[in-house]
Chain A
Amino acid sequence: DAGVIQSPRHEVTEMGQEVTLRCKPISGHDYLFWYRQTMMRGLELLIYFNNNVPIDDSGMPEDRFSAKMPNASFSTLKIQPSEPRDSAVYFCASTPRWKGSSYNEQFFGPGTRLTVL
């Protein structure tokens, strides 16, 4: 298995532009997570999906951020309009169905480094 795939790996854009980050989870995984990594706050959970349905988006910083999962093999995180403070590394992760009694490892993609000028 190729693991979690994210694209692009790097994105440089200007303030006010729309940015779309993409993620392909590991096949068969029921949960998908979007994280943002910054120096000040470490890894923050933005939103997660279960079977393509958004479950908790309380980590999404503001209305400029939106995420979708149209099918089990694809998710997008969109920022519109982008601002310099959105500059960070964005990770996507997936995990199998929750077993309820033990930890299911989250598998992370390589991340997208976003720079908003």
Chain B
Amino acid sequence: DQQVKQNSPSLSVQEGRISILNCDYTNSMFDYFLWYKKYPAEGPTFLISISSIKDKNEDGRFTVFLNKSAKHLSLHIVPSQPGDSAVYFCAAMRKTGANNLFFGTGTRLTVIP
């Protein structure tokens, strides 16, 4: 059963505009939420995270928003750049040890020059 869901398999955005990637989860016990970025033929790399005690975390062009009541988080990329084109995975974990992550199915972002 998927505890982390990304319902949009793909998203296309014009360069310079905002990209918004969405993620929903079902387990209210999750403590951390993360976004990983994956280029073809490479492993996923960590992008940004947010603790469940916060509702926003910003790192440069990337901002993650968390709405605990809706069990929803989103990743905003502003402005979007062609190099941002990749698959983005949403993930969640509990602080019970070992960082075992629950991943979504991913959203393929294409930034059009």
Contacts from A to B (Cβ < 8 Å):
4, 31, 33, 35, 39-45, 48, 50, 55-56, 91, 93, 95, 98, 100-101, 103-111
Contacts and interface: CB of A to CB of B under 8 A. Distances in A.
B89 interface: yes
A103 B32 contact: yes
Contacts of A91: 43-44
Given A98-B98, A110-B41, A44 B103 contact: yes
A11 to B, nearest CB: 15
Say whether chain B's binding surface is mostly helix, strand, loop, or mixed: loop
A48 B100 contact: yes
Nearest to A104: B99
Contacts of A43: 44, 89, 91, 101, 103, 106
A39 B9 CA distance: 9
Contacts of B100: 33, 45, 48, 56
Contacts of A40: 105
Nearest to B2: A41
A30 B108 CA distance: 32
A43 B102 CA distance: 8
Contacts of A95: 99
B73 interface: no
Contacts of B98: 31, 48, 50, 55-56, 98
Contacts of B45: 108
Nearest to A108: B43
Nearest to B4: A42
B42 interface: yes
A103 B43 contact: no
Nearest to B43: A108
A47 B98 CA distance: 12
